[in-house]
C-alpha cells in the first residue's frame, strides 16, 4: 500500500502531554475520508527506567476514562485485536526505541470515527507492566457521499 492516498488533515499542531516522565505527542483531532487511510501521528517517551516492549492502540468512547481489552485495535497478538480492525492497522516505525508510535489505519469506515488511545507495555525494574497515556487523538471520518459531490465539481 502506498502512503500517497492518505488525505488526513490534522488540526493545529501536535503537542506534548506528560504524566510525570511519560509523555505523548498527538494531534487532538484528525479529519479523514472513508475509503482512504489515515495516519495517527504520534511520539512517546517513558520514564528512563522503563523498557518498552510493545505498543497497544485502543479505540473507545471518549467518555470512558480508560479503554479496555475489548477496545484493542492494534496489538502484537492478532487475536487480541477487534475483528473489524484486524489487518487494517500498522505501525509506521517498528523500532520502538525511536519513540515513534504512529499508526496507519487503512480502508477507513465512518464507524472508525472516535477517540484513539495508546499504551506501552514493557518492563520496569525487570517487572512486566505497562502505561496508558491519557491524551487521545480523535479521528473524524467523513462519509463516501462527499466524494461524489467532490467528483461532480471536477
Q: Which of 117, 118, 124 is nearest to 47 (CA)?
A: 124
Instruction: Give whichever of 25 and 115 is closer to ligand NAG, judged by the CB atom.
Output: 25
Rounded Cα gap, residues 91 and 44, in angstroms: 13
Min. distance of Cβ 39 from ligand NAG in angstroms? Answer: 8
Distance of alpha carbon 92 from the chain centroid:
11
Instruction: Give whichever of 29 and 43 is closer to ligand NAG, judged by the CB atom.
Output: 43
User: Considering all CA atoms of the chain, what is the largest pairwise distance in Å, rounded to the nearest integer?
Assistant: 60
Instruction: Give whichever of 100 and 137 is closer to ligand NAG, judged by the CB atom.
Output: 100
Nearest 5°: the CA angle 128, 131, 137 is: 145
Under 8 Å between Cβ of 53 and 123: yes
Instruction: Give whichever of 45 and 51 is closer to ligand NAG, judged by the CB atom.
Output: 45
Min. distance of Cβ 121 from ligand NAG in angstroms? Answer: 19
DSSP 8-class letter at 146: H
Min. distance of Cβ 75 from ligand NAG in angstroms? Answer: 19
Min. distance of Cβ 26 from ligand NAG in angstroms? Answer: 9
Q: Which of 142, 134, 38 is nearest to 90 (CA)?
A: 38
Interface residues with ligand NAG (CB under 6 A) are: 41, 43, 92-93, 100, 102
Amino acid at each position: 500500500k502506498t502512503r500517497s492516498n492518505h488525505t488526513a488533515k490534522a488540526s493545529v499542531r501536535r503537542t506534548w502531554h506528560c504524566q510525570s516522565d511519560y509523555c505523548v505527542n498527538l494531534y487532538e483531532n484528525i479529519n479523514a475520508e472513508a475509503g482512504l487511510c489515515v495516519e495517527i501521528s504520534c511520539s512517546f517517551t517513558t520514564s528512563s527506567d522503563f523498557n518498552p516492549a510493545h505498543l497497544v492502540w485502543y479505540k473507545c468512547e471518549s467518555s470512558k476514562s480508560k479503554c479496555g481489552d475489548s477496545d484493542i485495535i492494534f496489538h502484537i497478538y492478532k487475536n487480541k485485536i477487534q475483528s473489524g480492525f484486524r489487518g487494517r492497522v500498522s505501525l509506521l516505525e517498528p523500532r520502538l526505541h525511536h519513540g515513534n508510535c504512529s499508526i496507519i489505519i487503512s480502508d477507513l469506515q465512518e464507524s472508525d470515527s472516535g477517540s484513539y488511545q495508546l499504551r506501552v507495555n514493557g518492563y520496569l525494574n525487570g517487572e512486566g507492566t505497562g502505561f496508558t497515556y491519557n491524551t487521545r487523538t480523535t479521528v473524524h471520518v467523513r462519509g463516501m457521499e462527499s466524494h461524489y459531490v467532490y467528483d461532480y465539481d471536477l
